[in-house]
Structure 1
């Protein structure tokens, strides 16, 4: 099976499902007081969305296609990188309001 065959047989909802699973794992980490790991997973979910938007044809990306391909790739990757970099570089401070 070639890559083209795999991409054409991929269910339309699979890319969005993968991104949502990664984001859900990130939210679970955030809710269990591991906000940095969760934020990295959330940023990673956006980067995965950008990669999927690059690799998959327009009829197979499903709900990941919001605008034109270049705009989607730019937004997904930019927000993903920003979230990941912020999560990795913030070392001080507390969100404790107590």
Structure 2
């Protein structure tokens, strides 16, 4: 049994589109991950307050993205239910932001 050439190219286009969608749906996750990586670099270079601020901000950004993006397109930002994910990231991010801004620097940044 042979298939028509038009059907083969259509199937290839659908496969390519699905593969591309798998990568594109992860962009919000990688944006948050990039923020966490930047925070780790700041902490590594002894800028712990700035690093903590960036870390908390990245978590708040993750909570906002999780709240705004539909579940079918949220990718790896989805761990549990929408409410739990948003509440967990927002509360931990807010706590870290509060700690980063409230602790006396003691001559450090």
Structure with more of its chain in helix, by fraction: 2
Normalised by the length of structure 1, the TM-score is 0.82
Give the alignment's Cα RMSD to 1 decimal: 1.7
Q: Can you give the 5+ residue segments of structure 2 that lack an aligned partner in the other structure? A: 1-20
**Residues 22-72 of structure 1, C-alpha deviations (whole Å, 9 max, x = no match):** 111111000000000000000011000000001000011101000100010
Q: Size of the alignment, in residue pairs?
A: 86
Runs of 4+ in 1 over 3 A off after TM superposition: none
For residue 99 of structure 2, the aligned residue among 79, 86, 95 is: 86
**Counterpart for residue 23 of structure 1:** 36
What is the distance in 1 between the residues matched to 2:71 and 2:44? Answer: 34
Q: Which runs of 5+ in 1 are unaligned?
A: 1-8
SS at match of 1:59: helix
